[in-house]
Every structure is written in C-alpha cells, then in structure tokens.
Amino acid sequence: MKIKLKYLVPSLLVFSSGSFAASHAVEARGDAMGGTGVVSANYLTAPFYNPAIVAIYRRSDDAGMILPSVGFTYDDPDDITGTLDDIGGLIDQLSGGDTSVAPELQNQLDNLAGTEVRANIGGAVAFGIPNKYMSMNLFGKTYAEVYAAPAIETSGATVLQNAQRSTVDIVTVAVTEVGLSLAKYQTFLGQHVSFGISPKLQYINTYVYEASLENYDITDADKNGKGDTAINLDFGALWFYGPFRVGFAATNLISQDIQTARVASNISGKSDLQYAYQLGPQYTVGVGLVGDYVSVSADLDLNEEEHYTGFDDNTQMLRIGGEVDLRQMKLRAGYKKNLAYSGSENTFTAGAGVAILGLEVDVAGSYTNSNAMGAYINFLASY
C-alpha cells in the first residue's frame, strides 16, 4: 500500500490517539493561558497542574467533571512533510529515467539532513468532589509524543541510490495514567495554605517505525510496540493571601527510564532502531493574582526535562497567562517559551469559554509559526 509521506506524521498521530498517553496537561482553559495552572487552575483542572488546588473551590461548588478534554499540537519547523512529498515525486521521475531532476533531488535530501518533526495528541477526564474534610478528584490523562527524523544516506554511488536507502525514523511514546488527587486546605500560623498529592497508575507504550522516502504501510505502525506499567506520584502546595498566590508542583516524582523495542532496519547495513525515553520529575513554581473577574499568573519550570535520547526535545518552560471572567463568557490569552534552547521561538495562545446552566465549553489555540500550531477543547459541568 503506497501512501504519500506528506501524510505520514498526521496518520501516525491518528493511530497514536488510539493508545493515548500522558505526561503533560491537555486542558483548554490552561492551554489558552499559555499553559499556566500552578496557581491559576481550578478544583477540576488541578490534577493536571497542582493537586493542592483541588482543595480550593467556591462555596457553591458541590461536584464537577471534565468529560472530555482533547488537544493536538505539531511542530514542523523545516516543513519536513512538504519536502518528503516533493522527494517522493522526484524519486519516481528519476527512477523513470528523467535525470534532469537529480540536482533538485540532491538539494532536497540535503535540506532534510538533521531535521525533525514533533507532534503531540492527548486527552483528559476528571471528576471533582470538593469538601472541607478531604477534597478529591479522580482523573485520567493520556498523551502521545511522536517524533520523526529523516536518516539521509550519503555513501551511495548516485543520488538515486542515496534516496532509495534513506528513511524516516519514527518513534512514539504514549502514556496513559489514572489517579486520585487528595488535597486539604488549612490555616497555619495565620497563613492560608493547601497541600495535595496524586498517586497514579501509568501504562507506557512505545512504538518504533521506519519508512522509506517512497512509501510506507500505516498498518505496520503498531508491529513494533512495547508496554510497561508503573506507579507514580505528583505533589503540590499553595499559599495565598487574598488574590495573591504562590504555588509549587512536582510531577512524576518516580523517574521512569524507558527503552523501546529494538527493530532491525529494512535497509541492508543500517543499524537497528532503538530509542530511550525518560519520564522524570518536573518541578514548577507559579505566582499570580487570581481574582473573581481577572486572573494573571506565571509558571516557571525549575529544571530542564529530558525526553528522547538522540532528539533535540528538552524542555524548560516559562509560561505567562491571564483570564477575564465575565461569568457566562471568559476570555483568555497567554505566552510560553522553551528556555532549554536559546534560539527557541515564542508561542502565543488564546481562547474563550462559554458557560450556560452549569455547562461550559472551552476552546483554545496556540501559534508559534505557520509550521507549529495547536488546538484544544474542553467540556465541563459543575453542580
């Protein structure tokens, strides 16, 4: 079955959504506010940012649920998908005897060398029960990270041989987690504080796939899977005085070092494919003013988080966002930047929420450039 490589990454994401994963928040309210939430989340979204906020709620809040939240982002800074589509056509022309396209094919192969594309897809659900004794939130979260990197051959006698021996190597890590956030508010030495923990069960799937530059079979994408189960823990704390808040969150306190399956290459002489992925602790501080009608906050990751070995995908995020709450209508905007790389681009976010009779729909979008965008949506109900 031949399929143009232009659709390779989107197709894999559709496949990955069936085995969802988790290590990041996928939640339209926070994503519209630059991804902030360590102090600005509410008792429903708190498990995805800071479990201590599960204990912070209005007196009128008896219960609530998110069912569901979904989101998708992609980052293709070098327009790999477009280049791959062009290369497929050039290979066909050169194989058919049209040698005039050889220089253009070589140029396109050179453009692909050292590039990579990243895409994420995920979803979440939550059921919150706030109370003065021990507030609880039962949540589930799923998140997949897909990376694709061209491996360009250079040792062939001709450009056609190099193109036919070049591949796109794709690795997916998908983590599904289910947990229970428990939080307690109290006054200590005249200070208002809350603490929360989220014990959770994680199921981690990895997939490795190699595609030629000419075609690939999407039905083979799940043949190189490997699954692991782990127990993990999140922790959060919050201090506040009136609208002023300071928070701290620690996620995935039990580090998981994950190895994908080892897969033999379809290209003779090429090394086997195997990748390492680290799901490690992330420590984040937040500060902000959270009022009834206006909220402004900022979150900063204290440590640089590593993901795949062999990919430039480390993250250490600065996030800033705000919300204007008009009760039935909420307007949000934000900004975020990856501090792990000096040349990383700025990402801007925006969104809105509409609430009617206890039901709310939140939508959000993010924009880095024309090859890096995202979209999110939540459905919430509170009683």
CATH of the domain at 31: 2.40.160.60
Beta strands 282-290 and 276-279, pairing class: unpaired
* pLDDT tens-digit series, residues 191-243: 999 999 999 999 999 999 888 877 655 556 567 899 989 999 999 999 999 99
Q: How far apart are CA 378 and CA 383, in angstroms?
A: 17
* Domains in the chain, number: 1
pLDDT of residue 215: 65
Nearest CA-CA partner of 207 in 259, 163, 161: 259
Q: Give residue 71's domain range.
A: 5-382
Taking CA atoms, 118 is separated from 13, 145, 147, 374, in Å, by: 10, 7, 5, 12
- Name the residue among 9, 15, 76 with its Cα closest to residue 211: 9
pLDDT, residue 164, reads 87
pTM of the model as a whole: 0.88
pLDDT tens digits, one per residue of 241-255: 999 999 999 999 999
* Cα–Cα distance list, 57 to 129, 187, 194 (Å): 10, 15, 12
pLDDT in tens, 34-79: 999 999 999 999 999 999 999 999 888 889 999 899 999 988 888 8
